[in-house]
Structure 1
Amino acid sequence: MTRLTRRRFLRDATLGGGALAAPWLPAWAQPVSAGIAAPLPTVSGTDIALTVAHQMMTIDGKPSHAIGINGTVPAPLIRLKEGQTVRLTVTNALDEETSIHWHGLLVPFQMDGVPGISFPGIPARTIFTYEFPVIQAGTYWYHSHSGLQEQMGHYGPIVIDPAGPDPILSDREHVIVLSDHSPLHPHAIFRKLKLQGGYFNYQKQTLGGLLAGRDQPAGERRMWGGMRMDPTDVSDVTGATYTYLVNGHGPADNWTALFTPGERVRLRIVNAAAMTNFNVRIPGLTLTVVQADGQNVKPVAVDEFQIAVAETYDVIVEPTEPLAYTLVAEAWDRSGMTRATLAPRVGMTAPVPALRKRPLATMKDMGMGMHGMAGMDHGAMGSDMTGMTGMDHDATKVDSVPEVCLPEHAAMGHCKPGRPLGGDPAMPGMSDAMRDVSNAPGLPRTPTVQTVAPMPVDRTGEPPQGLDDAGHKVLVYRDLVALARNPDLRAPSRQMRIHLTGNMERYMWAFDGVKLNEVKAPIPFRHGERVRVTLVNDTMMAHPIHLHGHFFELVTGHGNHAPRKHTINVAPGGTATFDLTADAVGDWAFHCHMLYHMHAGMMQVVTVRPEVAFLERDSGAAA
């Protein structure tokens, strides 16, 4: 064990401007290299060749095994033009099946790239060609949907330039892909999570801290103890095994984005991590958010934002001085970070802030709504206070949308005829924090429904978990306003509720208590129908939920300029509501984008069929 003394600390700090390593420092605080300013390799045109293969990559000077594309991790930047048609020929050089999903791209469902849902997959040592028209612009990404290959490096960015003038003006741009990498094989990580959900949580509360009551009020400590969970379990997989990367480089590699003072610099930021939400900031610079999930939004100036797994954000920064700035991407549980440098020339560095205090889950993260209501008789209050969650929504729509349990949903076990989809769990008076899920109508009594949030509330107006006391402006979903008028202004004809459920002790995750391998039928939509979907998070972890093949409009009070997204991060114990136009016929994956949550069962299939298909099916059933 290396013994840290004041003299040694001062000596290594003095030498820190070079490349000498200080083994007692965490990865993000290690002395950095002279800097790597190379942009990502780029492919473009109408015919693009991609080869998926095993490779080695070097992170902070250490070799590590990976799966890459065309010999790089991340995979090459694919640069396309709105209005073109592209053919992407994928050679699978692996000894196992692979696939590529074009995350956020609106493509025919046969080209969506999800084995077993939209195509058979790409068998080992074979070739498959994707071909589709490019009908949108913006920042997106692509990744494997086979096994756990995404964790090993099988991901890359996509930039689509608009057919006409770009409303976002900039002098220079950089694509920044954030990710997490572990020397452990992803299946080994998953096995450890199945054995112990908090296996990688090295930030657990100490006995001394619990006794002293430094971290939480006594009542909250008792409730967490009753659930046999630790409020520091914010992230399943942490910096205990992960190194966090920028464009495939670790924090000591010092990946550098160059600028000339006075330029408007566009940063296209993609979160391609398997399990990590990142808190992003650049001390000394304001971040002006101009795009979310590839869709232009009215500019909003912030000091920091959280980018959930699978989201993309484009921001503008305007450095006016010839100084270096540190781009900080801190893991949401504060177990580590990655960093990059913005500078006028290679070799410059700026101070790297220390990791901030770890966040702790609260009573609100248990789905108890307002802190002061935890001791009330929730049974007397009835449902999950749907009316309260809708107060800040577009009042012209919320109250007029009927909750309907269609026969096809009832057949799936999502709801009972005459009840809202997913149910409104009326909770009995709570004696402790473990809810009796047998009293939750509409949710099956399965091991995957460990807890039910008694009072979930819409949290899209709150800073993400751990950032409520950041001391500066943090982006919230309600800050996002679409730059252009929404394409479909119809009010939804019906609404549905889907519960995000889980069992942390057994590491099981599901929608409405039903894991993917237990689903009897897909979630059906009629082609062209407009539906309001409310996601209710009954777990104490955030879930970035992604729907393939569609964009949806967040119901956050912005009317016909509601922000359009393909991924929404649902806060612990909270709800999020969106309006969806089912305008793409086919079968589409619908899942949590936390890779191991999806792998453990939090995934289903949405099927969109023409009205005639529903009529023929119903008439056949009647006969």
Structure 2
Amino acid sequence: MTTSPASLPALDRRALLRGAGLAGAGLGLAAWMPAWAQPVSRGIAKPLPELSGDSISLRVAHETVKVDGRQAHVIAMNGTVPAPLLRLREGQTVRITVDNGLDEETSLHWHGLLVPFQMDGVPGLSFPGIPARSSFTYEFPIQQSGTYWYHSHSGLQEAMGHYGPIVIDPRGADPIACDREHVVMFSDHSFVHPHTLFTKLKQEPGYYNRQKQTLVGLLGGKDQKHADRLEWARMRMDPTDILDVTGAAYTYVVNGYGPQDNWTALFKPGERVRLRLINAAAMTIFNVRIPGLTLTVVAADGQPIRPVAVDELQMTIAETYDVIVTPTKDRAYTIVGEAIDRSGMARATLAPREGMAGGVPPLRQRSLLTMADMGMGAMDAPGGHAGHDMAGMDMPGVDMPAMDHDAGAAAPTEHGSAGGSGHSMKMRDGANAPQVVLGPGVQTIAPMPMDRTGEPGVGLEKVGHKVLVYRDLVALDRNPDVRGAAREIELHLTGNMERYMWSLDGQTLSEARTPIPVRTGERVRMTLINDTMMNHPIHLHGHFFELVTGQGDHSPRKHTVNVPPGGKVSFDVTGIYGDWAFHCHMFLHMHAGMIRVVQVRDAGDPA
């Protein structure tokens, strides 16, 4: 997105229809195709605006830009969405002055950067925020290299375009060699204000789901069988409920450009091209592939890994991946960012010359959630339950209204204590998670959550090619802290989709009386259990953690991890002094309450 009117000519529907009359019915029909499938190519081939040096200035303000030819209201920095690329170098100290031109508070969080907590940019936690019509200067040393990004942590500004990429060059030689590189920043843009999106979801959680099961799907054998549909209806759950906000409301963009805009990255045949992939979306997980090219993944969340060759990867919100591609043919390739629910697509082009466009594949058939996604273990046969008898299960739609919420909830336990020793197959049994506060915001507790780090992600189980999984990631260098964890902190990701309520351990940030306590330098294992049917990308500010995936002292180091429905993820982390936000990066989930504070204090300080 840019404020330059010359860069994106407005789409003239009458002109298109006149051209259709001359060129034939095929082109006429194309005008009504979804944006990602339009044959129109404007071949942008323009780099992102870039800022570097020890002193950088950014101005935040309301702007009007064009996305796929439509006027859009955004919150931009220095007049662009995304904000300028910040090109920094490991070892420097940078001063970034942010001038707030808004009539409300703003902020900037440096996602994935190791900074003093006072510079982390979370209003009310690490600093007071940047008041309207004022400025603030962030100053911090650059202690790392790799691909990162920055965004607002105030209100819903990030969802309106208040984000940008960061590339940090290493102090010495880069371990990842390439001939050329491009930043490819995926996001979702809505012409509807994010507060309206949130209100609609509170009123009807499936408001934007236009892919529900139909009678045609039943008769055609494409969706669930009748008996399975009845079971899911009895549970008041929808197996097509994969994304809260879908392509019905979003235009999916690459570097701010929509599918019709066709942002283009250039290459010369035979070059090693490094693509720095960033998911800056508010609510969208993307399945990324380039048909005709192998993606060699060389870094995850900015940290180098042993190269892994894949055909596709699922990139959750706030993650970054660096991939190497080596196109040898003199042709255009399509960079595909398909929404996880397959309701829409971000599309860009990798080409040897401007004005080219590769073929755009059709959206694949949307998938259905299974009983495994409900935390019922590996019951993932088509149709949902693999023949398991569900008669004895506590179905929220039947038993929950009659349940005494207070009687069923054990008192919250100390973080780090073990959960319930026994597990029932009831779907809202407090004994399975005694630290969870059972209230109206907790619809289910997963009876049999399982480690799904070896799975490719929702919708990619049967694509027929290699998909990246977390267990493929192996750190290039030995981890800096290889101590075992001294204790474990178990947290449940909880929610009630019917009421659009989200929390951790059944409590929102305002309801939780105390932060999660960790000592400076303490080695802690955190285990996240997803009791809901939605994916949750969880981000810990100010830290890297090591995923527990069997890679020993070369465990992958990340700052964000996706916890799939009914899934369980563990990571080890070493406490760094400060107060740090810990939250779901589904922006509206965090807005609804799925956020806590990790408070790290020295051994001599009070708990």
TM-score, structure 2 normalization: 0.90
Deviation per CA, 1:34-83: give whole Å up to 9, x if none: 31011000000000000000001111111111010000000000000000
SS of 1:518 mapped into structure 2: coil
Deviation at 1:222, TM superposition (A): 3.1
Does residue 407 of structure 2 align to residue 424 of structure 1? no
Does residue 556 of structure 2 align to residue 563 of structure 1? yes
Paired AA for residue 530 in structure 1? R
Deviation at 1:448, TM superposition (A): 1.5
SS of 2:604 mapped into structure 1: helix
Distance in 2, Cα, partners of 1:213 & 1:340: 34
Alignment match of 1:593 (pick from 582, 585, 598) = 585
Alignment check: 8 A CA contact 1:426 1:440 kept:
no
Distance in 2, Cα, partners of 1:262 & 1:212: 46
Q: CA RMSD in A?
A: 2.3
Deviation at 1:565, TM superposition (A): 0.1
Distance in 1, Cα, partners of 2:362 & 2:437: 45
Does residue 427 of structure 2 align to residue 375 of structure 1? no
Paired position in structure 2 for 1:501: 494
Does residue 506 of structure 2 align to residue 492 of structure 1? no
Alignment match of 1:481 (pick from 461, 464, 474) = 474
Alignment match of 2:504 (pick from 494, 501, 511) = 511
Alignment check: 8 A CA contact 2:422 2:431 kept:
no
SS of 1:475 mapped into structure 2: coil
Distance in 2, Cα, partners of 1:553 & 1:43: 31
Relative to structure 1, the CA distance from residue 425 to residue 543 in structure 2 (aligned partners, 3 Å threshold; closer, same or farther) is farther
Alignment check: 8 A CA contact 1:90 1:127 kept:
yes
SS of 2:118 mapped into structure 1: helix
Does residue 235 of structure 2 align to residue 235 of structure 1? no
Paired position in structure 1 for 2:165: 157
Alignment match of 2:461 (pick from 446, 463, 468) = 468
In proportion to residue count, which structure has more helix? 1
Distance in 1, Cα, partners of 2:191 & 2:228: 36
Does residue 174 of structure 2 align to residue 166 of structure 1? yes
Paired position in structure 2 for 1:328: 336
Paired position in structure 2 for 1:53: 61
Alignment check: 8 A CA contact 1:330 1:337 kept:
yes
Relative to structure 1, the CA distance from residue 375 to residue 9 in structure 2 (aligned partners, 3 Å threshold; closer, same or farther) is farther
Relative to structure 1, the CA distance from residue 331 to residue 439 in structure 2 (aligned partners, 3 Å threshold; closer, same or farther) is closer
Deviation at 1:504, TM superposition (A): 0.2
5 Å matches for 1:225-304?
Answer: 225-304=233-312
Relative to structure 1, the CA distance from residue 524 to residue 206 in structure 2 (aligned partners, 3 Å threshold; closer, same or farther) is same
Alignment check: 8 A CA contact 2:432 2:445 kept:
no
Relative to structure 1, the CA distance from residue 420 to residue 89 in structure 2 (aligned partners, 3 Å threshold; closer, same or farther) is closer
Deviation per CA, 1:425-461: give whole Å up to 9, x if none: 845454xxx5345875221121121101110100000
Deviation at 1:306, TM superposition (A): 0.7
Paired AA for residue 601 in structure 2? R
Distance in 1, Cα, partners of 2:433 & 2:567: 17
Alignment check: 8 A CA contact 1:415 1:421 kept:
no
Distance in 1, Cα, partners of 2:318 & 2:25: 37
Paired position in structure 1 for 2:136: 128
Alignment check: 8 A CA contact 2:338 2:363 kept:
yes
Paired position in structure 2 for 1:175: 183
Deviation at 1:32, TM superposition (A): 2.1
SS of 1:612 mapped into structure 2: coil
Distance in 1, Cα, partners of 2:180 & 2:216: 51
Alignment check: 8 A CA contact 2:296 2:323 kept:
yes
Paired position in structure 2 for 1:403: none
Does residue 520 of structure 2 align to residue 524 of structure 1? no
Distance in 2, Cα, partners of 1:520 & 1:58: 45
Deviation at 1:212, TM superposition (A): 6.2
Distance in 1, Cα, partners of 2:70 & 2:390: 54
Alignment check: 8 A CA contact 2:432 2:447 kept:
no
Relative to structure 1, the CA distance from residue 425 to residue 500 in structure 2 (aligned partners, 3 Å threshold; closer, same or farther) is farther
Distance in 2, Cα, partners of 1:323 & 1:211: 42
Paired AA for residue 296 in structure 1? P
Paired position in structure 1 for 2:373: 365
Distance in 2, Cα, partners of 1:517 & 1:188: 23
Alignment check: 8 A CA contact 2:491 2:504 kept:
yes
Distance in 2, Cα, partners of 1:176 & 1:218: 43
Distance in 1, Cα, partners of 2:317 & 2:94: 26
Paired AA for residue 389 in structure 2? G
Alignment check: 8 A CA contact 2:102 2:132 kept:
yes
TM-score, structure 1 normalization: 0.88
Alignment check: 8 A CA contact 1:297 1:483 kept:
yes
Paired position in structure 2 for 1:550: 543
Give the fraction of aligned pairs with identical amino acids, expressed as a percent. 66
5 Å matches for 1:146-225?
Answer: 146-210=154-218, 214-217=222-225, 220-225=228-233
Distance in 2, Cα, partners of 1:242 & 1:540: 21
Paired position in structure 1 for 2:404: none
Alignment check: 8 A CA contact 2:185 2:278 kept:
yes
Deviation per CA, 1:126-178: give whole Å up to 9, x if none: 00000000000000000000000001000000000000000000000000110
Relative to structure 1, the CA distance from residue 311 to residue 32 in structure 2 (aligned partners, 3 Å threshold; closer, same or farther) is same
In the alignment, structure 1 segments of 5+ residues that lack a partner are: 3-7, 380-412, 618-623
Deviation per CA, 1:256-303: give whole Å up to 9, x if none: 000001100000011000000000000000000000000000000000
In the alignment, structure 2 segments of 5+ residues that lack a partner are: 1-13, 15-19, 380-385, 394-409
Alignment check: 8 A CA contact 1:21 1:31 kept:
no
Relative to structure 1, the CA distance from residue 151 to residue 414 in structure 2 (aligned partners, 3 Å threshold; closer, same or farther) is farther
Alignment check: 8 A CA contact 1:422 1:498 kept:
no
Alignment check: 8 A CA contact 1:425 1:442 kept:
no
Deviation at 1:487, TM superposition (A): 0.3
Alignment check: 8 A CA contact 1:537 1:573 kept:
yes
Deviation at 1:481, TM superposition (A): 0.3
Distance in 1, Cα, partners of 2:478 & 2:336: 34
Alignment check: 8 A CA contact 1:437 1:451 kept:
no
SS of 1:63 mapped into structure 2: strand
Alignment check: 8 A CA contact 2:303 2:475 kept:
yes
Distance in 1, Cα, partners of 2:464 & 2:51: 42
5 Å matches for 1:426-441?
Answer: 426-430=422-426, 434-437=427-430, 440-441=433-434
Deviation at 1:538, TM superposition (A): 0.2
Deviation per CA, 1:551-578: give whole Å up to 9, x if none: 0000000000000000000010010110
Relative to structure 1, the CA distance from residue 175 to residue 440 in structure 2 (aligned partners, 3 Å threshold; closer, same or farther) is closer
Does residue 32 of structure 2 align to residue 24 of structure 1? yes
Alignment check: 8 A CA contact 2:239 2:368 kept:
yes
Alignment check: 8 A CA contact 1:515 1:601 kept:
yes
Alignment check: 8 A CA contact 1:82 1:162 kept:
yes
Relative to structure 1, the CA distance from residue 81 to residue 429 in structure 2 (aligned partners, 3 Å threshold; closer, same or farther) is closer
Alignment check: 8 A CA contact 2:185 2:255 kept:
yes
Relative to structure 1, the CA distance from residue 52 to residue 12 in structure 2 (aligned partners, 3 Å threshold; closer, same or farther) is farther
Paired position in structure 1 for 2:532: 539
Distance in 2, Cα, partners of 1:363 & 1:487: 39
Relative to structure 1, the CA distance from residue 13 to residue 176 in structure 2 (aligned partners, 3 Å threshold; closer, same or farther) is farther
Paired AA for residue 462 in structure 1? E
Deviation per CA, 1:516-569: give whole Å up to 9, x if none: 111111100011111111100000010000000000000000000000000000
Alignment match of 1:604 (pick from 579, 596, 605) = 596
Alignment check: 8 A CA contact 2:41 2:356 kept:
no
Paired AA for residue 592 in structure 1? C
Alignment check: 8 A CA contact 2:187 2:279 kept:
yes
SS of 1:365 mapped into structure 2: helix
Query: Which aligned segments of 4 or more residues in structure 1 are displaced greater than 6 angstroms?
Result: 376-379
SS of 1:291 mapped into structure 2: strand
Relative to structure 1, the CA distance from residue 428 to residue 467 in structure 2 (aligned partners, 3 Å threshold; closer, same or farther) is same
Alignment check: 8 A CA contact 1:261 1:320 kept:
yes
Paired AA for residue 512 in structure 2? V
Relative to structure 1, the CA distance from residue 437 to residue 226 in structure 2 (aligned partners, 3 Å threshold; closer, same or farther) is farther
Distance in 2, Cα, partners of 1:345 & 1:203: 37
